[in-house]
Amino acid sequence: MNISKDLVAASATPLVLAILAEGDSYGYAILKRVSELSGGQLTWTDGMLYPVLHRLERQGYVHARWGKSETGRRRKYYRLTRDGRAHLASQQRQWQVVDDTLRGIWRVAAPGLA
């Protein structure tokens, strides 16, 4: 299924923050996790993840540091900050409202899908 660009963009922030809440990670692993979680349904253009990560870093939600990969190459790891955790909680509440609202209307307007 092709998920619209706007929806992908909107869900990127909470998704990345939530994945980092599971533990420190790096770009490639984050994308792999997204693919796992969505059963392969939600796919991003790989390169687009990095501007998102850099924005989150600028906003102080994640902290980046260079570490080493298993093969010894330099790799940038990201960690959720305290502000990031708070922002994730607020995003979660917002998405909950959207989700609840949509569920309500699906049940009435398109019962077959609910």
Partner 1 sequence: MPDGTRRGDLEFQIAQWRAYLRRRQAVRPVDIEELEGHLRDQVAALTDAGLATDEAFLVAVTRMGNLDAISREFAREHSERLWKQLVVTSDARDQADTRHEMWVALGLAAAAGAAIKLPELFGQRMDPNEELPTFYFRNATLFVLPLLTAFFVWKRAMPSATWRWLVLPFLAAAVVANTFPFPAAPAGAIGESDTLALMVLHLPIALWLAVGVAYAGGRWFEGGGRMDFVRFSGELAIYYVLIATGGGVLMGFTTLMFDAIGTDVSFLVATWILPCGAMGGVIVASWLVEAKQSVVENMAPVLTRVFTPLFAAVLLAFLGTMVVTGSPINIERNVLIAFDLLLVLVVGLVLYAVSARDLETGVTVFDWLQLLLVLSALMVDVVALAAIAMRIGEFGFTPNRVAALGENILLLVNLGWTAWLYLRALRRQGGFEAIEQWQTAYLPVYSLWAALVVAVFPPLFNFA
- 51 scored as a contact of partner 1 (CB under 8 A): yes
- Helical residues (DSSP H) of the chain, grouped into ranges: 5-22, 27-37, 49-58, 82-109
- 75 scored as a contact of partner 1 (CB under 8 A): yes
- 6 scored as a contact of partner 1 (CB under 8 A): no
Q: By C-beta, is 76 or 107 nearer to partner 1? A: 76
Alpha carbon distance 84, 18 (integer Å)? 10
Among residues 78, 51, 59, 58, the alpha carbon closest in space to that of 67 is found at: 78
Among 3, 10, 48, 98, binds partner 1 (CB under 8 A): 48
Contact segment (CB under 8 A) with partner 1 among 14-22, 56-64, 92-100, 104-112 equals 56-64
Residue 23 exposed, middle or buried by CB count within 10 Å (0-12, 13-18, 19+):
exposed
| Interface ranges with partner 1 (CB under 8 A) | 26-28, 45-48, 50-51, 54-55, 57-61, 63-65, 69, 73-76, 81-83
